[in-house]
Amino acid sequence: MANNKTRTTNGRGRLFNSILDTVGDTPCIRINNLAPEGVSLYVKAEFFNPLSSVKDRLALNIIEAAERNGTLKPGQTVVEATSGNTGIGLAMVCAQKGYPLVVTMADSFSIERRKLMRILGAKVVLTPRAQKGFGMYQKAAELAKANGWFLASQFETAANADIHEMTTAREIMADFAGQRLDYFVSGYGTGGTITGVSRVLRKERPDTKIILTEPANAQLVGSGKPQERNEDGTASVGHSAFEPHPIQGWTPDFIPQVLQELLDNKNYDELLPVPGGEAVSWAQKLASKEGILTGISGGATFAVAMKVAEKAAPGSVILCMLPDTGERYMTTPLFDSIAEDMDEEEIALSRSTPGYQLG
Identify the sign of the CA torsion 335, 337, 341, 344: negative
Active-site residue identified among 44, 55, 132, 209: 55
Active site residue 297: yes
What single string gives the DSSP state of each residue in 151-196?
Answer: E--TTT-HHHHHHIIIIIHHHHHHHTTTS---EEEE--SSSHHHHH
Report which of 259, 338, 317, 325 is spatially closest to residue 291, judged by C-alpha positions.
Answer: 325
Contacts of 10 (CB under 8 A, 6+ apart): none
Query: Among 46, 130, 127, which Cα is nearest to 88's?
Result: 46
**Strands, sheet with 101-106, edge to edge from the N-terminal-most edge strand:** 123-127, 101-106, 78-81, 150-151
Q: Which residues contact 6 (CB under 8 A, 6 or more apart)?
A: none
Q: Note whether 78 and 97 are within 8 A (CB).
A: no
Catalytic-labelled residue, pool 53, 153, 186, 297 = 297
Nearest to 305 by CA among 351, 326, 274, 328: 274
Tell me which residues are annotated as active site: 55, 297
